[in-house]
Structures are given as structure tokens and as C-alpha cells.
Amino acid sequence: MKPQLFATVLFIAPALLLGQNTGTDTGIGTLIYPGPYYADVKAYLSLTDAQIQSLQAVQDSRNQALQNIYKQIGQKNTTLYQLLEAGTASAAQLGQLLLDIHSLQKQLPLSDGPYKSQSLNVLTADQKAKLPKLSEALQLQSAAGQAGMLLLIDYPQYIGPPRMLTDIAGSVAPAGVVSK
């Protein structure tokens, strides 16, 4: 693979991956995620469908901002390698492109502060009061997983949305079932 192609793929791939979404397009640009996607947090916080949609809009806004930065980095890298390949660029042009790329890279990772504030503004006071407990549970996730592996505690019966697994022979078995 040529160096310029490799660099272009390296910097554009994250933007393309961020653009992928498991939701469905409603035709008006709004993505609605599958029902069970946020079912647990929706139930725990008693979120309404409108709140879920608002929270998803904040998340989509954050992802779009990230995509824009990665896209700009990819465009600058493509220009840089095209100029290098052509051999017609001045040191000033190349240097400016490198500075632009570096400046864009310094914007990553994107600060979640403004997006978190927007998300918190969607919640009621009662819903916000439940967040510290969720935060504590998230911090204990690793320890709980290890305790489960050591058979000290039981795993919850339901972990994530159901999915199908394909075995080597190509037949489909429900998740957790291994066919031989």
C-alpha cells in the first residue's frame, strides 16, 4: 500500500466508523435506535421517549463534531501527500499543512463537557438524583466482573440485547448456545 493511501485510510477510517449507526433512518435525518437499546437506563431513570430522543440528538451532535474533525484531518493529509508526491510544494506550504493537521489533532479527544451539560439539562431533578448510583455502579463494573468470574456473585440473567451467533458450520444458534 502506498504511504499516502495508507495515511489517508488511517485518518479517514475513524470518521467513517463514527458515521456508522445502528439506528434506522426515519427519512428526515433523525435516527431512532432500536427499542431495547436504552431500555435499562430508560427504566431505571424513568425516561420518556422524548427524553431518549433528546439525549440521542446530543450524542449525534457530538459524533458529528468528531466526524468533522477527522474529515478535516483526512483532507489535510490527502493534500499533504498529493503535494509531496507531485514534488511541487514549497516548504512553507508543507509546514502549514503539518501545523494545521497538528492543530486539528490537538482538538481530540473532544471535550464531553458541553455535551454532558446538554444531556443533563434533559433530565428532571429526580432523574439527576439517581445518576450518582449509576456512576458508582460503573466504577464497580470491573470488580463485579472479576467477582463473577471467581463465582463469588451471579451474573445478571439479561446482559445486552439478544443476538445470534453463527458457528463454524454456518448454522445459527442463539447467543450463549454452542452447537457442535
What is the percentage of the chain residues whose pLDDT exceeds 90? 54
Mean pLDDT over each residue of the chain, to the nearest integer: 78
pLDDT in tens, 142-166: 998 899 889 899 887 765 555 554 4
pLDDT in tens, 163-177: 554 444 455 444 444
Q: Supply φ then ψ for residue 177, to 5 degrees.
A: -105, 125
Angle between helices 113-122 and 49-86 (to 10 degrees): 160
Task: Output the CA torsion 170→172→175→178 (10° steps).
Answer: -60
Residue at 56: amino acid letter? Q
Instruction: Specify the pLDDT at position 160.
Output: 53
Mean of pLDDT values over 62-74: 95
Q: Give CA–CA dist 64/55, Å, rounded.
A: 14
Angle between helices 131-139 and 141-149 (to 10 degrees): 50
Q: How far is CA 94 from CA 5, 18, 26, 139, in A?
A: 18, 28, 43, 45
What is the percentage of the chain residues whose pLDDT exceeds 70? 67
Q: Give CA–CA dist 50/134, Å, rounded.
A: 21
pLDDT band of 121, cuts 50, 70, 90: very high
- The answer, as to whether pTM is greater than 0.85, is no
